[in-house]
Homo-oligomer: A and B are copies of this chain.
Amino acid sequence: MIAGRGLAGLKTRDLAREIGCANGAVYNLVADIDELILRVGSRTLHRLDEALSAAEGAGESSPQEALVRIAIAYCDFAADNLQLWRALFEHRMGAGKVVPDWSVEDQMRLFRHIYQPLATLFPKRSREELGITARSLFSAVHGMVALGLEQKLVAVPLPALRKEIAGLARAMIDGLIARQR
């Protein structure tokens, strides 16, 4: 239902009807809709993880190009799974509730993909520095994808967005390499 009508289109009553049970029975499977959304998010994150892994390995080449491929793969995944991907970031936890550990773990796993090539590129940097850089790179690419797929402001066709992301990703990496010297 999230994939079809978006996060806002997920209603407990519709859901109960779809899976063929009463309203209340949903709460035997899940404590909250928060939990339900997190569990869907977990699946999405795992599929995203696979997509990034595939991009990481494909075509042995420089770490630079691996990072660019990962960025493009991220963009493609988001475009192909628009609603599910949006749900990952649109969702806000209900008041007072805290994100469970297993969900945080799912999110953290993403940075691994960026960490690895970065560590090869910058062997002198500490684990912590690399972690921060990895997160920054991810955030930057994520921002481009997020606003690029929003379509509301300026309608940029997907191929142009991919090219733009590849360009800026290369620029960031080149800039980082040049800057460290």
User: Which residues of A are in contact with B by a Cβ distance under 8 Å?
Assistant: 8, 90, 92, 95, 99, 104, 107-108, 131-133, 135-144, 146-148, 152-154, 156, 160, 164-165, 167-168, 170-176, 178-179
Contacts and interface: CB of A to CB of B under 8 A. Distances in A.
Given A132-B156, A142-B147, A170 B175 contact: yes
A144 B139 contact: yes
Contact of A140 (B90, B133, B143, B152): B143
Given A171-B176, A175-B174, A146 B154 contact: no
A139 B75 CA distance: 14
Contacts of A165: 136
Given A8-B92, A168-B176, 15 more contacts: A104-B153, A136-B144, A136-B168, A137-B168, A139-B143, A139-B147, A142-B143, A143-B146, A167-B176, A168-B172, A170-B179, A173-B175, A174-B175, A174-B179, A175-B175
